Amino acid sequence: MNQAKVPGADLGLERKQVVVLGVADESSIAWGIAEAFQHAGSRVRIGFQQKFFSRVRQLFQKHPGLEGQRCDVLNEAELRDFFESMGERRIDVLVHSIAFGAPEVFTKLPSAVSPEAISQALAVSAYSLPLVVGQAKSRLGEWSSVISLSFLAAQRAAPMYGLMGVAKSALESATRYLALELGSLKARINTISAGPVETLAALGILLAFAQEPAVLAHLPGDILSGPIAAVDKENPGLRESDPMAWARLAWRHLQERFAAHSALPEFVCKEDVANCALFLGSDLSRKITGQVFHVDAGLSSSLIL
């Protein structure tokens, strides 16, 4: 690979010790970030849940030098073992790209979501950030950087995101409070609010709504019903015969709608998010902390109706 063309090649990231938690497969934003740091010359270690190992194993096979270990962040023993197995190594960059919500968190009316479902979404998607920082804190070097991942639904009510938006709001708030805690160590923490990126998790949201036509019909606006109806019209029967292919087509329609309402009429991909992470992991951002960076082509700053 031509080093001059590698994003981050001139950001001083060579030999940085980078930990990325939340890798699920090649499509995940977490992997996009991990791969970008590896290409920039960093030593990368990933954390993943055991249920994703068959997919993650392919990443290890394709990328020599990549390190990793299973890590369920809500399992105290696994989380502790993940960091203890690093020995005495410091951490220069720590990425938290972890979120989960049961289908009802997205599809049910906020007042109808079960306490168990919202508690789980908050625990996995928000509270896990201070848990991770607590375990990693003693290893964070001077001017180290912690990065978490959010979405615009943390700041605006997005019907398609349901109470998961509350979990993302909590995550962004936790980032600000952790910035106060880490400041005395000369460590920083920021959040990247990514635009709509195609991942398996994102496609899963579409599939969940597709199975709830009554719910879909009552969502404000047509941000979801429009793309779903368009794909069904263009590809009759595809939803039943190949749900994932159907979801990818519907997601593309959805991205087109988001792009049309953005200052930059462009799709956002995981590489765009990874480039921001490279900056936040570099010394160029050492005096930036407690902030939310929107990588969404201007969607969050525009009012194009």
Structure tokens at 221: 């606006």
CA dist 281 and 92 (Å) reads 8
Cα separation of the two ends of the chain = 43
Give phi and psi for 107, each to the nearest 5: -95, -25
CA dist 240 and 181 (Å) reads 50
Residues of the chain with pLDDT under 50: 1-4
- Those residues whose C-beta lies under 8 Å from the C-beta of residue 242, and which sit 6 or more positions away, are none
**CATH 3.40.50.720 domain residues, the chain:** 3-197+268-299
pLDDT tens-digit map of 224-260: 889 999 999 999 999 999 999 999 999 999 999 999 9
pLDDT of residue 2: 46
pLDDT of residue 302: 85
Q: What's the topology of domain 3-197+268-299?
A: Rossmann fold (3.40.50)
CA dist 143 and 174 (Å) reads 19
pLDDT of residue 1: 44
Alpha carbon dihedral 27, 28, 29, 30, in 10-degree steps, equals -130
